[in-house]
């Protein structure tokens, strides 16, 4: 017989050998313990859910910020290309777009 089965048998034997008052007190205490465990599980689950939601929100915000920054960069690159096609110099384009002349040259090389 396994230790677990033996323990279960002793628990059942102890339960049935109690007086009705003791058995009722035992059952009440057991219910209280199980209720408290259920409350703790609920709180833990809610905390995990909130943490997960908060993480998703932060991830979306960061993703949105990165997307906006990338969009701004792409817009500047298109502006550089248009200004270059209008025969502006690298220095003029850099001043107009607030980009470094090296960055402007790098963008122009992609044409």
Task: Look at residue 25 and tell me whether its pLDDT is greater than 60.
Answer: yes
Q: What percent of the chain has pLDDT over 70?
A: 98
pLDDT at 13: 78
3-state helix/strand/coil string of the chain: CCHHHHHHHHHHHHHHCCCHHHHHHHHHHHHHHHHHHHHHHHHHHHHHHHHHHHHHHHHHHHHHHHHHHHHHHHHHHHHHHHHHHCCCCHHHHHHHHCCCHHHHHHHHHCC
């Amino acid at each position: 017989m396994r230790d677990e089965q033996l323990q279960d048998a002793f628990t059942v034997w102890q339960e049935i050998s109690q007086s009705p008052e003791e058995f009722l007190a035992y059952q009440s205490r057991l219910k209280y313990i199980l209720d408290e465990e259920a409350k703790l599980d609920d709180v833990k689950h809610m905390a995990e859910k909130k943490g997960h939601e908060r993480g998703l929100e932060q991830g979306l915000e960061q993703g949105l910020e990165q997307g906006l920054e990338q969009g701004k960069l792409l817009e500047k690159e298109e502006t550089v290309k248009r200004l270059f096609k209008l025969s502006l110099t690298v220095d003029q384009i850099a001043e107009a777009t607030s980009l470094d002349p090296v960055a402007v040259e790098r963008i122009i090389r992609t044409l």
